């Protein structure tokens, strides 16, 4: 196995902290959370107390000013134990950076310290019933009326949606201007007209709080505009490389976990008087999977080096997202097969991860859209 040189001793100490936290505060309760459809809110504050949230935020806003590799460690360890219910990554490394990068000083001081403490949970509302990967097609509107915007529309598949105390809502402030008329608004829990729908029941990620959101003439003060009016689409595009890398990071960590679970199983399980591991097909299949995961992790680590150096482009991040999530699903399918009938039993982590992984090829932009992004970087724009 190739030695990973991406992480320092401090990163590895943080990894040990994360592992201990997950083993104590998450793993024993995750099955219960899957049954109820969401994680207990208390785990958010415990994570904040442990210093696991918003680590890359500056100290003045409640974070540690740490590099993004600390969050990579958290994502890897969360994926390693199959704790798919936690929405920490989206909260800390998607919602918080939008506020940090585009928010006013007042917005930063109001939201970020509370988010770092786990007392305020963040979500971002992009997807609509009729608009997924195509963000230009959103129908939600926010029409300015004096000192406020009148927000109308609905969102779906929103991670952290039910628990959320603040939601970044993507809406059209100039509906006839297409993408150039898109803005981002900070909408707080309890604003009149803002309602949360049912928690959605999903194939996988069963412990993850995912819900519908509805906005009926919500008066959002103009002070809650995030960044500049009609610049929202540009902001969304600027943040996409890191968002897509997070999917790739989790994919490779989970694929490696699946291989490890399967190694333990095939060494113990006997068929026709000998272990499953003694069959050449088993050994060769696992050798193939481990090789491909090793290739994927090297690619992801290189992408992270580029991102840390502010040189990761959208096309390369799209390659990582599509290829790694495809590979994750392939690895899990093969590992389920090697588990035989037990691979279909929910009590086995490989089974739960098999269900959890399928959405990786969909969210963050479908893998088909990733290929469109890649081809455009090659000068192969689609003809209409």
Break the chain into its structural domains and give their ranges.
9-120, 123-229, 234-377
| Active-site residue flag, 77 | no
How would residue 383 be classed by pLDDT, with cut points 50, 70 and 90?
A: low
Question: Which residue stretches of the chain are H helix?
Answer: 9-25, 30-36, 42-49, 69-80, 88-90, 96-102, 105-116, 232-268, 280-308, 314-338, 349-357, 367-377
Measured between alpha carbons, how far is 72 from 84 in angstroms, rounded to an integer?
Answer: 15
Q: Which fold, 9-120?
A: Butyryl-Coa Dehydrogenase, subunit A; domain 1 (1.10.540)
Report the C-alpha gap between 322 and 66 in whole angstroms: 28
Whether the Cβ atoms of residue 269 and residue 276 lie closer than 8 Å to each other: yes
Q: What is the pLDDT of residue 53?
A: 98
Residue 128 has pLDDT above 80, yes or no: yes
Bridge-based pairing of strands 225-226 and 182-188 is antiparallel
Whether the predicted pLDDT of 1 surpasses 80: no
CB of 117 within 8 A of CB of 142?
no
User: Which of 77, 128, 229, 243 is the catalytic position?
Assistant: 243
Does position 381 have pLDDT exceeding 90, yes or no? Answer: no
Q: Taking a C-beta distance cutoff of 8 angstroms, is the pair 320, 300 a contact? A: yes
Longest pairwise C-alpha distance within the chain: 78
pLDDT of 39 higher than 60: yes
pLDDT of residue 136: 76
- 9-120 and 123-229: identical CATH topology: no
Number of Cβ within 10 Å of residue 174's Cβ equals 16
Bridge partners, residue 225, by sequence? 185
pLDDT > 60? residue 152: yes
pLDDT greater than 70 at residue 153: yes
CATH of 234-377, one of 3.40.630.30, 1.20.140.10, 3.40.50.1980, 1.10.10.10: 1.20.140.10
pLDDT of 42 higher than 90: yes
In CATH terms, 123-229 corresponds, of 2.40.110.10, 1.10.287.3610, 1.10.1740.10, 3.40.605.10, to 2.40.110.10
Q: Give the 3-state secondary structure of residue 259.
A: helix
pTM of the model: 0.94
Which band of pLDDT confidence, cut at 50, 70 and 90, is reported for residue 283? very high
Burial (CB count <10 Å: 0-12, 13-18, 19+), residue 184: buried
């Amino acid at each position: 196995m190739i030695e990973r040189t991406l992480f320092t001793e401090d990163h590895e100490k943080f990894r040990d902290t994360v592992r201990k936290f997950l083993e104590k505060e998450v793993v024993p309760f995750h099955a219960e959370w899957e049954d109820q459809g969401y994680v207990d809110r208390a785990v958010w504050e415990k994570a904040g107390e442990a210093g696991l949230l918003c680590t890359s935020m500056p100290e003045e806003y409640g974070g540690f000013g740490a590099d993004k590799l600390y969050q990579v460690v958290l994502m890897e360890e969360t994926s390693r134990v199959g704790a798919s219910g936690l929405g920490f990554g989206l909260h800390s490394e998607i919602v918080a950076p939008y506020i940090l990068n585009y928010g006013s000083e007042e917005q930063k001081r109001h939201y970020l310290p509370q988010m770092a403490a786990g007392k305020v949970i963040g979500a971002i509302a992009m997807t609509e019933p009729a608009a997924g990967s195509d963000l230009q097609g959103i129908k939600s509107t926010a029409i300015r009326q004096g000192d406020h915007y009148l927000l109308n529309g609905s969102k779906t598949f929103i991670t952290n949606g039910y628990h959320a105390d603040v939601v970044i809502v993507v809406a059209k402030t100039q509906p006839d201007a297409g993408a150039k008329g898109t803005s981002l608004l900070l909408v707080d829990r309890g604003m009149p007209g803002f309602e949360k729908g049912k928690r959605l029941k999903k194939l996988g990620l069963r412990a993850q709080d995912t819900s519908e959101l509805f906005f009926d003439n919500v008066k959002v003060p103009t002070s809650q505009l995030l960044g500049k009016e009609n610049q929202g689409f540009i902001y969304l595009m600027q943040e996409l490389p890191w968002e897509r890398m997070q999917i790739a990071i989790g994919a490779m960590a989970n694929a490696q976990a699946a291989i490890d679970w399967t190694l333990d199983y095939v060494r113990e399980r006997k068929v026709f008087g000998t272990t499953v591991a003694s069959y050449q097909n088993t050994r060769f299949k696992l050798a193939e999977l481990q090789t491909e995961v090793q290739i994927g992790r090297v690619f992801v680590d290189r992408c992270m080096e580029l991102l840390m150096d502010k040189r990761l482009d959208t096309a390369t991040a799209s390659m990582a997202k599509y290829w790694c999530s495809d590979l994750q699903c392939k690895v899990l399918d093969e590992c389920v097969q090697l588990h035989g009938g037990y691979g279909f039993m929910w009590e086995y982590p490989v089974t739960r991860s098999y269900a959890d992984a399928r959405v990786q090829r969909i969210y963050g932009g479908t893998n088909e859209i990733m290929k469109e992004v890649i081809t455009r970087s090659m000068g192969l724009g689609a003809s209409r």
